[in-house]
């Protein structure tokens, strides 16, 4: 089974989804990411979904779950690169994803992560 790479950038982890997400891949990412946060004591996760053109309710919930898991493990999560169609779909599905921080691009997302980690 394919895996989504998780790159370490100092105290942050960068996850760039470059493939179509399916349920098994999303579950593997969730497991891999929680293990990496634990192993590296990462303070933040940047989840780049700019390559995703569509999402379903499962993937939307997975993004929310990743954010919640990270928060419990003392790491902030910022989702970046959300396409307008993806945002519209999430709203239409009723997935507001409370607590999930977003930014337009990777640079803004990293700045937001730095700000959030410094204020803790």
Segment 26-80, tens digit of pLDDT = 899 999 999 999 999 999 999 999 998 888 888 888 888 999 999 999 999 999 9
Domains of the chain as residue ranges with CATH: 6-118 (3.30.750.24)
- pLDDT of residue 1 exceeding 60: no
Instruction: Report, in angstroms and rounded to the nearest whole number, the Rg of the chain calculated over CA atoms.
Output: 13
pLDDT of residue 20: 81
Q: Sorting pLDDT into bands at 50, 70 and 90, what band is 120?
A: low
pLDDT of residue 70: 93
Q: What is the pTM of this model?
A: 0.89
Q: CA 53 to CA 38: how far, in whole Å?
A: 30
Q: Which of 31-35, 67-71, 93-97, 112-116 has the lowest mean pLDDT?
A: 93-97
């Amino acid at each position: 089974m394919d895996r989504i790479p998780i790159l370490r950038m100092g105290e942050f982890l960068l996850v760039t989804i470059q493939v179509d997400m399916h349920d098994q891949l999303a579950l593997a990412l969730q497991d891999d990411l929680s293990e990496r946060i634990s192993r590296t004591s990462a303070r933040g996760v940047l989840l780049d979904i700019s390559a995703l053109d569509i999402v379903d309710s499962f993937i939307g919930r997975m993004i929310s779950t990743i954010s919640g898991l990270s928060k419990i493990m003392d790491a902030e999560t910022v989702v970046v690169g959300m396409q307008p169609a993806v945002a519209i779909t999430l709203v239409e599905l009723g997935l507001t994803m409370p607590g999930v921080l977003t930014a337009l691009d990777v640079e803004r997302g990293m700045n937001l992560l730095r700000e959030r980690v410094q204020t803790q």
